[in-house]
Amino acid sequence: MIRLGRCSPFGWKETPRIANGAVPLTLHLLSPAQRPVQVTQDLASFWQNTYFEVKKDLKGRYPKHYWPDDPHEAVATRRARPQPPRG
């Protein structure tokens, strides 16, 4: 089991596995308040089926935080919102 902050798994497409890929880790996905929001062993399914409901709920509670539309391509950040690129 791994407890992950809300941004940590952004960009991950699959659940990490141990024992030569035989055992998926159980991921406890946390809100910005460090409370469990979802527990999964199938991150791909979470992104596809559940993330948008969770995002909708948490975006209402934590509007200052970053909730990407495409979590597969998002980059994890410790900030509430990622900084825009400098140029």
pLDDT digits (tens, 9 = 90+) for 7-52: 778 888 899 999 999 999 999 999 989 999 999 999 999 999 999 9
Whether residue 58 has pLDDT greater than 90: yes
What domain range is 65 assigned to?
Answer: 1-87
Put the strands of the sheet holding 27-30 in their side by side order.
Answer: 2-4, 27-30, 36-40
**pTM for this entry:** 0.77
Q: How many domains does the chain have?
A: 1
